Structure 1
Amino acid sequence: MAESEFVCGLDIGSTKIACIVGRKNEYGKVEIMGIGRSESIGIKRGVVENIQNTVDSIKLAVDAATQASDVDIKVVHVGIAGQHIKSLQHRGAHMRSNLDTEITQDDVKKLIDNMYKLVLPAGESIIHALPQEYIIDNNLRTREPVGMAGLNLEANFHIITGNVTDVKNIERCVNKAGLQVASMILEPLASAEAVLSAEEMEAGVALVDIGGG
């Protein structure tokens, strides 16, 4: 089957590597087409310790998912975790030039993109910049600023960072396995998006991801 019709996730953990292939059905839900698993050899506490062993483990999981789904997997969304992951809070701002025009999605994108330019300690890179709350002209607080008036658009962000070397080694292993990385996502965040409803997130329900590493 053509891979463009599907999306593939690759979870690289310390005890196992899992590959899952799905597609959106007519109801807007993700239909699972195939799953592959392999023992994770070469990863310890989310950090690559042996490149070739990790590559071989990735290939085994992807091959199993390919056989189960009949999809030629070339591009994957990679889950990342480990002891090198850190987080911090930061407030960012984007100054607009025209009060007569409404705040657009492009304004929000510029604000979020600016967070990826944040100066971090040497050896760290930003994986996610997650807006938690928007503030318009130091007054109105909202979760959805698009369509509103205002010049100064700010937001409180939860910033997820990882060690540059560790992130690059994960990406290198995926590439050596013959795959392209479409994106990297923090594994507990991916689990929360998959399991928790919007109402549960709003109510403050927490999902605890206890890995094997």
Structure 2
Amino acid sequence: MGNQPSIFITGGARGIGLSIGKLFLEQGWKVGLYDIDAAELEKVRQELANENLLTGTLDVTNSDSAQVTLQQFAEATGGRLDVLVNNAGMVRVGEFEATPLADYQQMVTLNLAGPITMTYQALPWLKTTPNSRIVNVSSASAIYGNPELTVYAATKVAVRNLTEGWRLGFAKFGIHATAILPIYTRTRMVDDYVHLYQGLKLKDVTLTAEDVARVCW
């Protein structure tokens, strides 16, 4: 097993995932940033230009894609996987009936099946890495109902409960599972939809992706 700690991050091309990656790179970790957006990921790779950075295209809902990508990551880290961050996700904002049903179905698959698929495929390496961690990015919307975020909030409630089950079930392997529940955060995901939130103005969104990244550290 390699000596350098490593972290694997989904949804790593922007926002919270990218900020987590930057922070861990600064601390000398081997960092894997993975995303379905290959073009954006290439921009990140060129911008960061760090020998400890690994990048790759990944569909977190596809078990074969997850398995192959994790295998490649493990080969680069000497079989070590200290932290898995399940960050990839999507949101649709607005009145329930205003969003196409297909978008809701895609959201449920990505936000919930994604973490399940990634964690399932990552377990062999998490089990063999001492004191490994799973960090699931949930949301403050998992705590209370929101008429503009009904389905999104439901997926994040599921992620929160899934994490609690993993925390209890994986303890025997020495794996720690944690969910973080950020409120509105200054990322493109919020910027693109802020006009649809009733009573929310962009100037009032003060939490940054860097703030959330520090919680993961």
Task: Using structure 1 for the length normalisation, give the TM-score.
Answer: 0.33
Structure 1 or 2: larger helix share?
2
Structure whose residues are more often strand by fraction: 1
TM-score (norm 2): 0.32
**Structure label with greater radius of gyration:** 1
